Amino acid sequence: MKISYKKGDSLFHKIDPLSKFLWSLLISIWLLSITDLKTVSILSLIITITSVLLAKIELRILIKALRIILIGGLGLTLFQAIFRHGSGILLGPLNISFEGIRIGLALTVRMIGIVASCLAFSTTTKPKDFSNLLIKIGINYKIAHIFYLSLRFLPVFEEDAKNIIYSQKLRGIKNGTQKIARTIITFLLTELRHTDETAIALEMRGFGLQDKKTILGDIKISKFGMSIVIITLLSMITHLILRVLN
């Protein structure tokens, strides 16, 4: 599932990285502040449609992401339904709480909106442009480089995860708890190796010796991007005010 930067001509490709990052952050905060299932479902649907249209996210990628979320959401919903107190359906010694089901579904739907907004950011943003823009607005280049590495290593993480899954299949390891545990442990150990390699590479280049870093290329904050951020912020504030008044 390709979640890293991909060249394109979508509207989000033309917006500066900072505006897209702030938009995605506001969307996440907005969704996390909502607990009502109906409201969070409507908002997540709007965000998902907006991300697909403006960032031109491939349906194949979105479907894979949704499949993972729904599988995890099913387990989360069952957990909430079993351990959350309240009226529900008795299945032997278990009480399947209606409130737990509602909370589990709300959490799952919320994640769909958050993941869609994050995909819109990650698939349309060059890691170097985002890092340079953060430096330009006054953020220390060491901190900006952390954001750069987090985006830069997305395709590496994807490739490592794919190779691990393929190797598990070749060895005939069947699906189940054992496969999941081995995959997670192998993935973490592989990425720790990348951490050592990155640290050595930064040391060899003298990273951090200078207080400032020279930026080559001009990165501008677009008016259209900021307008989207402002509209999203005003919409979020308006919704929160109306919710408090009601």
DSSP 68-124: HHHHHHHHHHHHHHHHS-SSEEEETTEEEEHHHHHHHHHHHHHHHHHHHHHHHHHTT
Burial category of 199 from C-beta neighbours within 10 Å (exposed 0-12, middle 13-18, buried 19 and up): exposed
Give the confidence band of 44 by pLDDT, cuts at 50, 70, 90.
very high
Q: Are 112 and 88 in contact (CB under 8 A)?
A: no
Tell me the pLDDT tens digit for each residue of 114-149: 999 988 988 888 877 777 777 776 777 667 767 667
Residue 1 clears pLDDT 60, i.e. is over it: no
Helix H segments across 173-245?
177-204, 223-245
Q: Are 114 and 28 in contact (CB under 8 A)?
A: yes
Average pLDDT of the chain, as a whole number: 79
Give the pLDDT score at 205.
57
Mean pLDDT within 187-215: 62
Q: Are 95 and 88 in contact (CB under 8 A)?
A: yes
Q: Are 164 and 187 in contact (CB under 8 A)?
A: yes
Q: Computed over its alpha carbons, how large is the radius of gyration of the chain?
A: 21
Give the pLDDT score at 203.
58
Tell me the pLDDT tens digit for each residue of 69-114: 888 888 888 888 888 777 877 777 777 888 888 888 898 999 999 9
CA distance 144 to 137: 10
pTM: 0.72
Give the pLDDT score at 97.
83
Give the confidence band of 211 by pLDDT, cuts at 50, 70, 90.
low
CA distance 41 to 48: 10
In this structure, of 27-41, 88-102, 200-214, the range with the lowest mean pLDDT score is 200-214
| The two structure tokens encoding residue 21 | 């990052």
CA distance 177 to 68: 16
CA distance 8 to 80: 41
Residue 191 clears pLDDT 70, i.e. is over it: no
CA distance 20 to 231: 13
Residue 216 clears pLDDT 60, i.e. is over it: no
Give the pLDDT score at 93.
77
